[in-house]
A and B are shown apart, each in its own frame.
Chain A
Amino acid sequence: MSEIKAPMAGNIWKINVQVGQEVNFGDEVIIMESMKMEIPVEADDSGVVKEIKVAENDTVDDGNVLIILG
């Protein structure tokens, strides 16, 4: 099990995956928006999406858990 965390403070713009979906290392699972830039968040592990802890338009801090991979 591993956690995908926010690389910096910002908003959740798009969530590209669903619970149960398989993701690979390097897949762009979420796109955040911060400092007026698109901030792609990539999976730093491979696995199945177990839980998505955020919704689109949520505000997150640096290091907040976004997705849990099972």
Chain B
Amino acid sequence: MSGYENVKELQRRVEIARAGGSDKAKEKHQAQGKILVRDRLNILFDNGEYLEDGLLVGASRGMPGDAVVTAIGKINGQEVAVIANDMTVKAGTWGYHTFRKIVRMQEIAVDAKMPIIYLVDSAGARIDSQFDCYLGRIAWGNIFYTQVQISGVVPQVCVMFGPSPAGSAYVPALCDLVIMVDKQATAYLGSPRLAEAAIGEKVTEEQMGGARMHCAMSGLGDYLAQNEEEALKAAADYLRFFPSHNSQLPPLREPKLPGSKRSITEIVPPDQNRPFDVKELVESLVDEGSIFEVKALFAKEIYTAFAYLGGRPVGIIANNSKNKGGVLFNDSADKATRFIWACNAFNVPLLFLQDISGYMIGSAVEKAGIIRHGAKLLHAVCEAKVPRISVMVRKGYGGGYLGMSGGPTMPDAQLALPGAMPALMGPEAAINAIHYNEIQALEGEARAAFIDEKQKAYAKDINAFDPADQFSFEAVIDPDDLRDELIKRFALYSRREIPRIDRRNGIYPV
């Protein structure tokens, strides 16, 4: 066989490779409502065009691509590397060539400065390949090693269409963002069958590691998609906020007015104890239709979202008093921390909207390590180098004020709305602490009157204007001018030079 005959042989092999798994496997896949791997790539890439490596791997052995497709194409005009399991070939399992193809594409992506999207749908490591792939320096684990080396250098997004069991669950866990398709995606270290045998627990796959569980409870999932098309769109939408590499700035786009015309004075109740949904405040500030919320179902007391503000991408972290009073817990501190790392790694400016009673107190949260988790948030805030603006919307109490990027953590500006209430603690707690003995000595109406008088006097000192007088706030802003003020200030602070280093931080798991 030579010359032109080889061209025919090439065509034959390419055809086999592109066809993927057996007809039976593909029928089964589609019967579950799932999209075939190459159709996923066609949806994702502009014009369905891509450059592929390792297409012919395994084609002669009935394992097209060795169960993975690695390709580079454009998404919304930006070059992106995609690593996609093919569930129809050996259940998408990892063999020897699978991980070599994956690692090679990771290396190419970082060298050529482009984000990676992992399309995960795999039964995990191929057990019969373990003696070639498990131990030593050339092995499955190289995938994770490389993910960690390039974390914070190029954006890494994971879309989960199906399982990612045991060790392969670390692929999503080491990505910046994890999108999970509801009722399809699963991740667990031990399967329900394994758990029943080892610890006697009986649960379903969905309970053990379903998409909803991970997006609402474990925090592994960042975005719960209703179907595969939505999941692919979310991955593309997320990347619009990021540069292709940490040496570049995020893209600007045409500014748009906010979709919500409501005034902040209508949205934020003046009574500091009344909850409100901070999402409504964000919608009144940012460009219409530009919000991408991260972890919408997890630790809802803190709201984290990317959005465009006057055409500039920003990462927004806001206390949401609608849930758990907006108080900071372990999970909310972790959620905010990881969000800060993603912004800081890729030059995305940060906006903090403070309305914080503090970190949760009580023995339960102390045992769970609230100090440790709170310190993690404080650490991330103090290390952040990107343009950063904090706005005291209502309460700014205690250590929570610092975790939420308060003035002493050196944001570019600490602004305040006229209703701001900055204090080490609120009137009730403070008066009880300062006058404890006097209060204990009084009884009945006399006690109530004493407390009331002291609280009122204390509350009078908690206002936006005294700190402005002391230059503790850069400015107090009329609520109706906040958007314009932020746009001007982000443009100003974005001119500040940030020292270039190989990597500012990884997007660490928390």
Interface residues, chain A, with chain B CB atoms under 8 Å away? 7-9, 34-40, 61-62
Q: Give the interface segment out of B353-361, B379-387, B401-409.
A: B353-361
CA of A38 to CA of B321, assembled, Å? 9
Binary per-residue interface labels of chain B (472-497) against chain A in the complex, 1 for a CB within 8 Å, 0 otherwise? 00000000000000000000000000
Q: Is the interface of A mostly helix, strand, loop or mixed?
A: loop
Report yes or no: B325 in contact with A38, Cβ–Cβ below 8 A. Answer: yes
Number of interface residues of B (CB under 8 A): 21
Report yes or no: A9 in contact with B273, Cβ–Cβ below 8 A. Answer: no
Report yes or no: B325 in contact with A37, Cβ–Cβ below 8 A. Answer: yes
Name 11 interchain pairs, CB-CB below 8 A, sorted by A. A7-B323, A8-B324, A8-B360, A9-B360, A34-B324, A35-B327, A35-B361, A36-B426, A36-B428, A37-B275, A38-B325
B364 contacts chain A at the CB level, 8 A cutoff: yes
CA of A36 to CA of B459, assembled, Å? 14
B31 contacts chain A at the CB level, 8 A cutoff: no
Tell me how far the C-beta of B270 lies from the nearest C-beta in chain A, rounded to whole angstroms. 14
B444 contacts chain A at the CB level, 8 A cutoff: no
Tell me which residues across on chain A come within 8 A of B322, comparing CB atoms: 40
Tell me how far the C-beta of B348 lies from the nearest C-beta in chain A, rounded to whole angstroms. 30
Tell me which residues across on chain B come within 8 A of A39, comparing CB atoms: 275, 324-325
Report yes or no: A37 in contact with B364, Cβ–Cβ below 8 A. Answer: no
B274 contacts chain A at the CB level, 8 A cutoff: yes
CA of A61 to CA of B428, assembled, Å? 21
CA of A27 to CA of B361, assembled, Å? 28
Interface residues of B in 273-302 (CB under 8 A from A): 273-275
Report yes or no: B429 in contact with A37, Cβ–Cβ below 8 A. Answer: no
Tell me which residues across on chain B come within 8 A of A9, comparing CB atoms: 360, 362, 364
B419 contacts chain A at the CB level, 8 A cutoff: no
Contacts A7-B324, A8-B324; A38 near B273 (Cβ below 8 A): yes
Interface residues of B in 319-360 (CB under 8 A from A): 321-327, 329, 357-358, 360
Report yes or no: B364 in contact with A34, Cβ–Cβ below 8 A. Answer: no
Report yes or no: A8 in contact with B327, Cβ–Cβ below 8 A. Answer: yes
Tell me which residues across on chain A come within 8 A of B327, comparing CB atoms: 8, 34-35, 37
Tell me which residues across on chain B come within 8 A of A36, comparing CB atoms: 272-273, 357, 426, 428-429
Q: Please give me the 6 A-B residue pairs with the lowest Cβ-Cβ distance, nearest first.
A: A37-B325, A35-B357, A35-B327, A8-B324, A9-B362, A39-B325
Query: Which of A7, A9, A35, A62 has the most chain B CB within a 10 Å cutoff?
Result: A35
